[in-house]
Amino acid sequence: MTKFIRLRSLQTGTLHASLCQMGYALHQSLAILGAGYTAKTLHPLAERRYMRVCATSRDPERHISHLSPDQRITFDLARPDTWASIPTATDVLWCFPAVPIELVRQFADHALLGTRRVVILGSTSAYREGATTPYPPPWIDESTPIDLTIPRVQGEELLRTAYGAIVLRVAGIYGPGRNPIEWIKTGRVNRSRKYVNLIHVEDLSAVCLAALRYGQSGEIYNVSDGTPRTWNEICEEVERRWHIGSSVSGEQKPGGKRLSNHKLCELLESDRAGLRHTDVFEALAAIQKHSLNQAGPSR
């Protein structure tokens, strides 16, 4: 049956759509554009599914030196002379803001992104947060209006609507080396009634792979652990568990957002997976324990 669909698709020019609907990555290789924090966790997981995984950076020898030389690629959207370095027969995970839009369009045409599986890491900042929003704020799903005045949102929408890219609107990413407890300790965040949505980097990595394999072209998926919390709640629990105090925000903050992840959970079910870190406090406890173990005994 699969052979028939593949042959028929080749004849009608619908191979891309057919394989996407059936839940197939199109290629045996993956290119990660803009390898940063998430890519470090995702890369070894992706190697279980792809024969080759390469990653890009504007300065690969400096920023992704942990990868073997054949996996490192110099790429800069602002430098068209680097575009040809992206292998042609690869799926694509786009990890940096899709701006400016004209360069995004030119690169998408050059790299034939419309013929590939493309997943973009977007942001929940795409959703408007009005000053008059009721409190607690209403739940946000993928049908909620977005702010098309934001340049990166314009780029994401171009790639989604014109090239069939899948957009992941990602909540605040945390994990080892990106710890909300440290944000509180250093005063980066304070107590407030503002809601925050979070996703552990391990779960985000699993979501990326599920989207590459089973996501529908041109679709949007909100990515969060499904449990919005206020900074008041988080700060109070951090103080109770780890005795780390926090101050009350001196300014009136908006109520934040409450992100629904129902559509995301359905995607993960297609990949026979699920979110591992739905309780942020248990996840933070594991991160703290790991940090203490790495620190070793004091001298």
pLDDT for residue 136:
94
**pTM exceeding 0.85:** yes
For the segment 60-94, what is each residue's pLDDT rounded down to a tens digit? 999 999 999 999 999 999 999 999 999 999 999 99
**Residue 40: band (very low, low, confident or very high) from pLDDT cuts 50, 70, 90:** very high
For the segment 212-253, what is each residue's pLDDT rounded down to a tens digit? 999 999 999 999 999 999 999 999 999 999 999 999 987 777
Neighbours of 169 (CB within 10 A): 26
DSSP string over 240-252: HHH----PBPSS-
Instruction: Enumerate the β-bridge partners of residue 92.
Output: 31, 118
Whether 20 shows a pLDDT value over 80: the answer reads no
Q: Are β-strands 258-259 and 139-140 bridged in parallel, bridged antiparallel, or unpaired?
A: parallel
Whether 24 shows a pLDDT value over 80: the answer reads no
Whether 8 shows a pLDDT value over 50: the answer reads no
For the segment 154-189, what is each residue's pLDDT rounded down to a tens digit? 999 999 999 999 999 999 999 999 999 999 999 999
Domain regions of the chain by residue span: 15-178+198-227+258-277
Instruction: Determine the topology of domain 15-178+198-227+258-277 in CATH.
Output: Rossmann fold (3.40.50)
Q: How far is CA 157 from the centre of its chain?
A: 16
pLDDT for residue 59:
97
The span from the CA of 41 to the CA of 271, in Å, is 18
Cβ neighbours of residue 57 closer than 8 Å, sequence gap 6 or more = 34, 35, 63, 64, 72, 73, 74, 75
High-pLDDT (> 90) share of the chain, % = 83
Phi, psi of 202 (to 5 degrees): -65, -40
For the segment 100-128, what is each residue's pLDDT rounded down to a tens digit? 999 999 999 999 999 999 999 999 999 98
